[in-house]
């Protein structure tokens, strides 16, 4: 009886081992087929458009949509293969929203098979760009509109149409006080009071270089591409158009904003004699335009200048507050002037910080 029991146990053990071996083989065989299928389709579809190994990639829609974080070039790239640009725009719009609407964009790219060390490495890499990614998430509709205004690259190869949108990652500001040095440097370049620039940045964006308004004004100094940019490019003979994405860079944005204030000071308002009155007019013009500020004094440009020059700076300030048609501009002048006085006092007491 005992021997029979031992034989039965052994037979059961052998049967289990054989069964496990078969299942493991099936699992291995299935995995092999899956990997080979992946390699085959990936090579067949994307062989002309290879990516670096140092990337974090995900595929969708039978490999016809490919999105990846490129660590070398510091961007997120959206690729799709489809019939025409109209379809590509719909796909790319949808992918932008899918990627950036998540709490952590790595959830979109996450694959359980990926090495955990590599996942942690990429997550830590993206921390340097967290402010930008967070602002995209919080202003998704406006950012999508801006991103789609960029050029979507088109390549045709092997009978396939591939459309690509690259979203460059922009680093956080490591130390806000470093921003003061950038502001000083650029303000000196254009001979503009850096405390005025500091006050305008505080009022416009609260030092958020990724800020974007409902009107499409961008960055620290809330630059509008087709207004202040156009004036600066014309006056300074810059042929290269400034991209929207470029304005998220703090140096580019401040340079564009200070250059525009230089134009207000030295071209449009160059005949104003009182420097304090000039500051009030620059602040108001930066918000509401030069024409609207001068028209409250007179419809004639030269007469407006003469009237202003015959007024005290206090009278100019009060006249703007009482007669400007825009409530926004009135509030803006009060706010920026208050900030300017505050920064002036902090600088005098050697306590300036942002």
Please report, for the chain, the start and end positions of each structural domain, with discontinuous segments joined by +: 1-47, 55-168, 176-348
Q: Give the pLDDT confidence score for residue 108 in this predicted structure.
A: 67
Q: What does the pLDDT look like over 274-291, one tens digit per residue?
A: 999 999 999 999 999 999
8-state DSSP, 80: E
Q: What are phi and psi of 168, to 5 degrees?
A: -70, 135
Q: Which of 227, 187, 183, 159 is nearest to 352 (CA)?
A: 183
Q: What does the pLDDT look like over 287-335, one tens digit per residue?
A: 999 999 999 999 999 999 999 999 999 999 999 999 999 999 999 999 9
How many secondary structure helices (H) and strands (E) does the chain include?
A: 15, 5
- The answer to whether 340 and 195 have CB atoms below 8 angstroms apart is yes
Say which CATH topology domain 176-348 has: Lysozyme (1.10.530)
* Radius of gyration over every alpha carbon of the chain, rounded to an integer in angstroms: 30
pLDDT band at 68 (very low <50, low <70, confident <90, very high): confident
| pLDDT at residue 336 tops 80 | yes
Q: What are phi and psi of 155, to 5 degrees?
A: -135, 140
Percent of the chain with pLDDT over 70: 73
Residue 158 CB neighbour total at 10 angstroms = 10
Q: Give the pLDDT confidence score for residue 269 in this predicted structure.
A: 96
Q: Give the pLDDT confidence score for residue 39 in this predicted structure.
A: 53
Residue 9 CB neighbour total at 10 angstroms = 10
User: Distance between the two ends of the chain, CA-based, in angstroms?
Assistant: 89
Instruction: Count how many Cα atoms sit within 13 Å of the Cα of residue 164 in the half-sphere of its side chain.
Output: 15
pLDDT band at 50 (very low <50, low <70, confident <90, very high): low
């Amino acid at each position: 009886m005992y021997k029979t029991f031992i034989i039965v146990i052994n037979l059961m053990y052998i049967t289990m081992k054989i069964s496990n071996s078969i299942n493991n083989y099936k699992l291995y065989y299935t995995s092999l087929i899956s990997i080979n299928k992946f390699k085959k389709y990936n090579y067949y579809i994307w062989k002309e458009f290879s990516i670096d190994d140092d990337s974090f990639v995900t595929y969708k829609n039978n490999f016809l949509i490919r999105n990846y974080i490129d660590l070398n070039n510091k961007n997120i790239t959206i690729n799709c293969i489809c019939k025409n640009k109209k379809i590509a725009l719909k796909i790319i719009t949808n992918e932008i929203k899918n990627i950036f609407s998540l709490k952590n964009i790595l959830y979109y790219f996450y694959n359980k098979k990926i090495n955990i060390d590599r996942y942690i490495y990429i997550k830590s890499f993206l921390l340097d760009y967290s402010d930008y990614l967070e602002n995209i998430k919080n202003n998704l509709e406006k950012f999508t509109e801006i991103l789609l205004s960029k050029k979507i690259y088109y390549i045709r190869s092997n009978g396939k149409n591939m459309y690509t949108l690259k979203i460059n990652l922009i680093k956080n500001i490591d130390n806000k006080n470093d921003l003061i040095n950038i502001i000083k440097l650029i303000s000196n370049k254009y001979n503009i009071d850096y405390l005025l620039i500091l006050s305008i940045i505080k009022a416009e964006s609260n030092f958020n270089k990724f800020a974007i308004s409902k009107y499409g004004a961008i960055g620290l100094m809330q630059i509008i591409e087709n207004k202040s940019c156009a004036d600066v490019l014309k006056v300074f003979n810059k042929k290269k158009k400034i991209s929207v994405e470029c304005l998220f860079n703090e140096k580019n944005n401040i340079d564009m904003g200070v250059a525009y204030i230089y134009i207000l000071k030295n071209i449009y308002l160059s005949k104003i004699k009182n420097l304090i009155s000039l500051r009030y007019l620059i602040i108001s013009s930066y918000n509401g335009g030069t024409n609207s500020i001068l028209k409250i004094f007179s419809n004639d440009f030269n007469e407006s200048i003469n009237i202003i020059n015959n007024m005290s700076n206090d009278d100019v300030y009060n006249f703007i507050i009482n007669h400007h048609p825009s409530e926004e501009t009135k509030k803006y002048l009060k706010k920026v002037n208050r900030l300017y006085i505050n920064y002036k006092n902090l600088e005098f007491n050697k306590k300036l910080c942002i």
